[in-house]
Amino acid sequence: MAVLRVRGFGLPEGEPVDLYADGDRWTTDPVPGAELVAEGWLLPGLVDAHTHPGAEKPGQPLDDTVLREDLRAHVHSGVTLIRAPGLAGDPPEWFGHADDSPRAVHAGPWLAQQGQFMAGWGRRPGLTDLPAVAAEQASRTGWAKIIIDWKPDDDVVPVDVLREAVTRVHAAGGRLAVHSQQAAGGTVAVEAGVDSIEHGMGLSPELLPRMAERGIALTPTLAAITGGLAEINADPERARKSWYVPGASAHAGLTAAAVEAGVTVLAGTDTRPHGGIAQEIRALVAAGVSPHEALAAASWTARSYLGLPGLLDGAPADAVVFDADPRTDLGRLDKPLAVIVRGRRVR
């Protein structure tokens, strides 16, 4: 396999870089005969930290063909790493390792309470068993995901149960993500010390400093939530009755406040079609997040949070290259010059 070379200005610092793909790792040592595949502004790949590939509709089983197509859409958009906090089933062994797909971490099937979440998806252990089941899942994949709240009148997972789940997941060497879209769920999640809150709609801004202090990340899935809000608001009668409207209306401001408070904010799409990470980055900027911080949420900050370094000697050979600084022109995100994963050019 030919050795690939990329050079230009590497973000986040914007300093000159010249990298060679030594197998699956970058090296700064020149390799004679290396193929210069792109020159411009380099990121260590984009990251979609909240995506559920592999099923076309809620409740459907994981489909290998759909999974491959979804992952190709991600990598075509410049995404070289995904986190799937919930899948329609246990993924095949090639997931996260195939040459034409992003690296991946995942939480396996969702864990939810009886009568909550999407019918046909996830596991529903009793509250007594929930911490042990979450720990077992995290021991296999590194992550577990619990739906701690669902509709406004549903019971929230009790804080003592969730705190025990956090303790046992951490003891197993894993991390715990939670779905929360109600204020009560956000309060419980922060009190229990989970690792990441997914969506976080309705989260009290007063909790943001504590999240920052405890290292609790927020994945706001902002474009998906505001898109749902627009759909509901198109019908005034529906909007008047919908529990969704207050939280979704405040979500952009909450997201910007989280960044300001020092919370680790991760970019995630949560929607089909896959490959829409640029839309999420633009939604973050529209909410008041700086382009630099929005791009960080979808690149170097997210990679670091998920355990991968950036454009460094010895780092995984992932990169996306643009012909200009995408922080000054977000439209560039739709037109990468090259996408490299595992030292191979995939676009």
User: What is the tens place of the pLDDT at every residue in 282-311?
Assistant: 999 999 999 999 999 999 999 999 999 999
Residue 32, pLDDT score: 93
Residue 2, pLDDT score: 83
Residue 67, pLDDT score: 98
Closest CA to 254 of 300, 211, 195, 303: 211
Where along the chain do the CATH 3.20.20.140 domains lie? 107-307
DSSP 8-state secondary structure symbol assigned to residue 105: E
Q: What is the mean pLDDT of residues 98-125?
A: 96
DSSP 8-state secondary structure symbol assigned to residue 298: T
Residue 239, pLDDT score: 84
Q: Is the pLDDT at 269 greater than 80, yes or no?
A: yes
Contact 142, 163 (CB under 8 A): no
Element (H, E) at 341: strand 338-341
Q: Has this prediction a pTM greater than 0.85?
A: yes
Residue 236, pLDDT score: 86
Contact 160, 130 (CB under 8 A): no
Q: Is the pLDDT at 1 greater than 90, yes or no?
A: no
DSSP 8-state secondary structure symbol assigned to residue 226: H
Contact 162, 187 (CB under 8 A): no
In one-letter notation, the amino acid at residue 150 is W
Q: What is the mean pLDDT of residues 241-250?
A: 93
Where along the chain do the CATH 2.30.40.10 domains lie? 1-44+309-347
Q: Look at domain 1-44+309-347 and name its CATH class.
A: mainly beta
Residue 346, pLDDT score: 94
* Strand, coil or helix: 76: helix
Q: Where are the alpha helices (DSSP H) in the chain?
A: 64-76, 130-141, 159-171, 183-192, 208-214, 222-233, 236-241, 244-249, 251-260, 277-286, 291-297, 300-305
pLDDT > 70 in the chain, percent: 100
User: Residue 12 CB: number of other CB atoms within 10 A?
Assistant: 17
- Chain CA centroid to CA 50, Å: 3
DSSP 8-state secondary structure symbol assigned to residue 129: T
Q: Is the pLDDT at 182 greater than 80, yes or no?
A: yes
Mean residue pLDDT of the chain comes to 96
What fold is seen in the domain 107-307?
A: TIM Barrel (3.20.20)
**pLDDT tier for residue 263 given thresholds of 50, 70 and 90:** very high
